[in-house]
Amino acid sequence: MKAVCKRVLHLTVTSRGLLWGLGQGYIALREIVRKRAPPFAQARAALASCLATVTPPCWHSPAVVASRPSIASRSGQHREFPTHPAPFRRGLHAMRAAAAPVAASGPKPVATTPRHRRTRAVARPVAGGGDTTSRPAVAASAVTPPPSPPAPQPDAIPPAPAAASLPHPLPAAAAPAPAPADTTTTTTTSTRGGNAELLARRKLRVTAEIIEAARKARVAASPDEIRAGLDTLESLVPGFTPNLDTLKASEWARLAADAPSVASKIILLKSHYPRLDLTRVLVATPKLLLQSPEQLDRAARQVRSLLSRARDAERLLAAEPALMEPRALISVLITVTKWYFLEKDPIEVLEADPELVRRAQDYDVPFEPVYMDDEGNWTAPLLNYQEKRTEWQKYIDQTFYKQP
C-alpha cells in the first residue's frame, strides 16, 4: 500500500501539472478498490503517512529534469515546459501539516455494517488440513434491514412534591378549571341558528320579489298588504311558504292579495278530503288555489268519482298530488290500463305502487292525451275502448291478446 501511495505522490510531483497527477492518483486508488485492497479509510491513512514521511525528489535533480515535459519549437529544438516550483512546495508543506495528525494516530479500523445484505456460511478448506471452516460470504439480495439507531434516553423528571409539603391550600384562581362541557349541543344550536338565519334571508328576498312582481302586474295591494297576506297563508297552512319554483311571483302576489278567498278554498278542499295532507299537496301544487271556488268544487267531485273504488283515496292523492287534477287523473288511469292490456284495475295498480307515475315521468314515458272543450267537458279516446272499438279491433284483442 505504501508503494502505491509513493507512486501516487511521485506522479503528482513529476507529472505534467497537478491536475493530471491527481487524475492519475484517482485511477490508482480505483484500481486498489477493484482489487479488494484494505478499505478506503486505511488507504487514505497510508497516503497521509507517506506525505508526512517521504521527502519528494529535488525539483532540479537530473531525474526530475529528465521527466519534465518539453515542447518542440519552430526551429526543431526542444525547450522545457515552464513550471512553478515555489507554489507547489508551499502546497506540499500544507499537505504535510494536515496529514501529520492522521499519520501520528495511525489507521483506524472502520466499522462496517451489512447494508441490506444477506450473509451465508460457505465452507472453505483450510490450507493446513482437510477440515473446512465456515466463512461468511455476502449475497446480493436484500433481506435484513440495517439496525436502527438506539432511541435517545428521556430526560430525568424530578419527583413532584408531596401534597403535605404545601403550607397553604391553593387559591381559587389557581384551582384547576372544570372539564369542558359537551360541544354537541352547542354545535347543533349554532347549526340551527345558521339555518334559521338563511331561511329568514331567503324569505325576505322572495317577499321582495313578490312585491316587485305585484307592482309590475298592477295587483291592487300595497307592499304591507302583500306581506300580511303571505303571513296569513302560512298561518292557515303551516309550512306553506312561497316558492318561486312552483308559481310565478305575480301569481303569489295574487294569492297574497286575496288571502280571505284562499282561506275559503282551503276549507273547501278540507271538506272534500278530510284526511288529506293539505300541506304536502299545496306545497307541491299551489296552482290549485288559483282556481275559482266553483272550479275547485267541480274538480274535487270528479276526482272523488273516479277514485270511488280506491281503498284510501286521500293517501293516493297525497303520494301523487298531480292527481288532484281530473284531466291528469284520467290520463294516468287510461295509460295504466293500456300498459296492462286491460287485465288489471289501474286504481289497484296505483295504490300498490304510488311512485309509478313519478318514475314514468322521470323516464319520459308518454301518457295518453285527454281533451277538454271550452265548457269543461273532457274526452278520453281510450276511456270506453271496448264500447267504441270496431270489429277488427275486437278480433285482434280476442285472438292475439286473449281479451274479452
Mean pLDDT of 244-271: 94
Where exactly are the structural domains of the chain?
Answer: 2-67+87-105, 194-257, 261-404
Model confidence over 179-234: pLDDT tens digits? 554 555 555 665 666 788 888 899 899 999 999 999 999 998 999 999 999 999 99
Helix (H, G, I), strand (E, B) or coil at 126: coil
**N-terminal to C-terminal alpha carbon distance within the chain:** 116
C-alpha 297/C-alpha 271 separation (Å) is: 10
Helix (H, G, I), strand (E, B) or coil at 184: helix
Burial of 226 (0-12, 13-18, 19+ CB in 10 A): buried
Helix (H, G, I), strand (E, B) or coil at 364: coil
Model confidence over 294-325: pLDDT tens digits? 999 999 999 999 999 999 999 999 999 999 99
Beta 371-372 vs 132-139: how paired, if at all? unpaired
Model confidence over 324-368: pLDDT tens digits? 999 899 999 989 988 887 788 999 999 999 999 999 989 988 888
Contact criterion met (CB below 8 Å) for 309 and 353: no
